[in-house]
Structure 1
Amino acid sequence: MVTMADVARLAGVNASTVSHVLNGTRTVSGPTREAVLAAIARTGYRQNTLARSLARSSTTTLGLASRFVSNPHFADLVTSIESSARRAGYSLVLADTHDDPVEELRAVHELADRRVDGLLLAPSVHADDEALPFLERAGIPAVLLDRFAGSVFDQVAPENVEATALLTGHLADAGHTRLAFVAGLEGLSSTSERCEGFTRVVSARGLSGTVLDGRSETAVAEAAVLSAFSSSSAGERPTAVVVGNNSMTVGTLRALRTLGLRIPTDVALVCYDDPEWADLVEPRLTAIHQDVPAMATRAVTMILERLDGTAPPTPRRERIPPTFRHRDSCGCAGSGVSAR
């Protein structure tokens, strides 16, 4: 194995000079720096990151515990967080929680065992029972993202209530009086907040509102929509649907196609989350677009501020405002949708 001493010998400098070049701990003259870099290139020298971490009591890694499988939103979030962490000089270690409390605790333990400097967590329904108390006892700096839970950690999430109320009100303004909301996994703050936005408008305007349990899953949402629409006559079933996330939007689209219902002619549809393909399908989906890069950047900034001691003593709760993307699936752009 090539050592720092080998690089120093080839470059004609001391090992400490090689260290200064690699770590930026002291200014090194141009010619000397070039000689060291050339020697590194010739020898293929790699720093011993484990030894460096032990010496610094830092692994320069951040952990991310979240649900990755079957939800494109979290895949986008991972990409944005990794980019922000890398710009700050940190590597990202991933652990999938599957939105299951047992898997979540395992994931948090695994990241703690890897000695991550800080941890980002999209909390599950029961995070307050196990995962969050463990992080607090262990003294691991953490930021909760996408969903709120507990009160002792910094948290950043999208705005949910007003955004979903906007979607619902948009359908009501188009004349719809029978609406359905496909809700996510019960117990998540994002689910309850989006449901609140829907029911607030339905109640305030005296509309008929049905909440369907989609559990944040494509197949479950599909079955729920099939059941609700199949059991109602044409004159009683909802004429418009608000969907709580992108995975359930896929299930809802499949169900409506199975039922032979056209969007927006037979059923208007709007959704929270704006998947990449939203403006590629026909009709294009009217949606709430989350600023995922902004949420990721803010979450990484928060954890770095905790690590360097510049964060305020009181935990912060911040919301990232989303954007309303008005397209065609709502049926209010002259597509002939009927709000029967």
Structure 2
Amino acid sequence: MPTMADVARSAGVSVATVSHVLNETRPVLPHTRQAVLDAIEELGYTPNTLARSLVTSRTRSIGLAVSAISNPYFTEILQGVEAAALEKGYSLLIADPHDDPGHERKVVQLLHERRVDGMIVAPSADPRELLAYLGRHAVPAVLLDRVIDGHVDSAPRFDQVCAENTEPTARLVTHLAGLGHRRIGLVAGLPGLSTTSERIAGYRQGLAAAGLPLDERLVVPGNSESDGAGEATATLLSLPVPPTALITANNAMTIGALRTLRARGLSVPDDIALCCFDDFTWADLFSPRLTAIAQPSREIGAEAVRVLLERLASPDRPARTVRLPCAFVHRTSCGCREESGGKTRNPGTTNSPSTPSTPSTPPPSTSRKEPSRDRRRR
């Protein structure tokens, strides 16, 4: 089996130079680096990562702790993390904390015991044990998707990477208001998560921008999962004056809401309009096609890796929070008509399909007639 010394002789460099190329511990001239890489390829040299970790105190591995890995959103984040880590020569160890604070701390400890160089974690609704452990052991970490504002029980600040939540949710509200809706329900996420509180804040901002009053009864937690969203949707439909439009705050809750609407015999968007936070692969295959906020899932995962590697390179730099923009995906579940070629347009407007109208006070000409309450509640 070829050794590092064999690679050095073939490339005409020192063993130290080969080490610098492999470990990226010191800049190497491009032509020298290429000569080393060519020698590695020609000889079929495979680095001994275990021996290298004993010398460098680095395993070139990253721990990833995210719940609901089966959720398409987190699956795409995982793909982004994996691709970015592999590009930089890092392997990935994955654990599912199940959104349980106690289990979360245990899986993070297990990852730490495997001597990962750093961690990427999507924290639970109560991350105090997690943050205390990471801080106590000085584990380089990036918080993913769900951010922590300020300090929690004096825990140190951590780097954070997430999507914008407030403004995109507000846009869904103003879009529906622009179609004439005055009672817009929100199936919110699990209480305690930053994504939940930020999307509720966006919902309120959207109502204020549209000049609509806030009715707290129109905000019901679906607990970020399908069954809870189904129950939340049933609660909203049972109000004395039910909503004429719904916003679901993640993709799993969209499925639960649709299931309940179908069970009640309600048609989307004829009986009730629907917009959702989180686009997903099959959203374009529903009938009607789902109007949604699309998060840059893979980019979030890749950015988390970049931020973590920057932390490993500069342990003392200030913590930062990176927010990535979302996209408004305009389809037909909101009640807008679809023209030939699959383009979607607001009724009564001449706006480009990529920039739907979102007036703060909808004009009378675009007001949407509210469905019969008897039909909506059957």
TM-score normalised over the length of structure 2: 0.78
The residue number in structure 2 matching 1:206 is 213
Measured against aligned partners, the alpha-carbon deviations of 1:144-186 in whole angstroms (never above 9, x if no partner) come to 1111115411112111111111101111111111111001110
Q: Determine the C-alpha separation between the residues in 1 that align with 2:122 and 2:324.
A: 15
Specify the SS of the correspondent of 2:282: coil
**Cα pair distance change 1:200/1:80, threshold 3 Å:** same
The residue number in structure 1 matching 2:320 is 316
2:178 paired with 1:173? yes
Shift of 1:206: 2.0
Superposition pairs for residues 15-164 of structure 1, below 5 Å?
24=21, 27=32, 37-40=41-44, 46-127=46-127, 129-151=128-150, 152-164=157-169
Task: Find 1:267's aligned residue among 268, 272, 277.
Answer: 272
Q: Determine the C-alpha separation between the residues in 1 that align with 2:41 and 2:249.
A: 53
Equivalent position amino acid for 1:248 in 2: M
Specify the SS of the correspondent of 2:293: strand
The residue number in structure 2 matching 1:328 is 332
Q: Determine the C-alpha separation between the residues in 2 that align with 1:121 and 1:61.
A: 14
The residue number in structure 1 matching 2:307 is 302
2:234 paired with 1:226? yes
Specify the SS of the correspondent of 1:262: coil
Q: Determine the C-alpha separation between the residues in 2 that align with 1:257 and 1:60.
A: 49
Shift of 1:84: 0.9
Shift of 1:35: 7.2
2:288 paired with 1:283? yes
Q: Determine the C-alpha separation between the residues in 1 that align with 2:66 and 2:40.
A: 41
2:192 paired with 1:187? yes
Equivalent position amino acid for 1:126 in 2: D
Equivalent position amino acid for 2:131 in 1: L
Q: What is the identity percentage for the equivalent residue pairs of Structure 1 and Structure 2? A: 43
- Contact 1:61 1:92 (C-alpha < 8 Å) held by counterparts: yes
Q: Determine the C-alpha separation between the residues in 1 that align with 2:242 and 2:147.
A: 34
**Cα pair distance change 1:39/1:198, threshold 3 Å:** closer
- Contact 2:290 2:331 (C-alpha < 8 Å) held by counterparts: yes
Measured against aligned partners, the alpha-carbon deviations of 1:116-135 in whole angstroms (never above 9, x if no partner) come to 111111111111x2001111
RMSD: 3.0
- Contact 1:265 1:338 (C-alpha < 8 Å) held by counterparts: no
2:238 paired with 1:215? no
Specify the SS of the correspondent of 1:278: helix
Measured against aligned partners, the alpha-carbon deviations of 1:253-275 in whole angstroms (never above 9, x if no partner) come to 11111111111000100011111
Equivalent position amino acid for 1:254 in 2: R
Shift of 1:202: 3.1
**Unaligned ranges ≥5, structure 1:** none
Equivalent position amino acid for 1:4 in 2: T
**Unaligned ranges ≥5, structure 2:** 23-27, 151-156, 338-346, 349-366, 372-378
**Cα pair distance change 1:89/1:186, threshold 3 Å:** same
Shift of 1:207: 5.6
Specify the SS of the correspondent of 2:218: strand
- Contact 1:67 1:99 (C-alpha < 8 Å) held by counterparts: yes
Q: Determine the C-alpha separation between the residues in 1 that align with 2:286 and 2:336.
A: 17
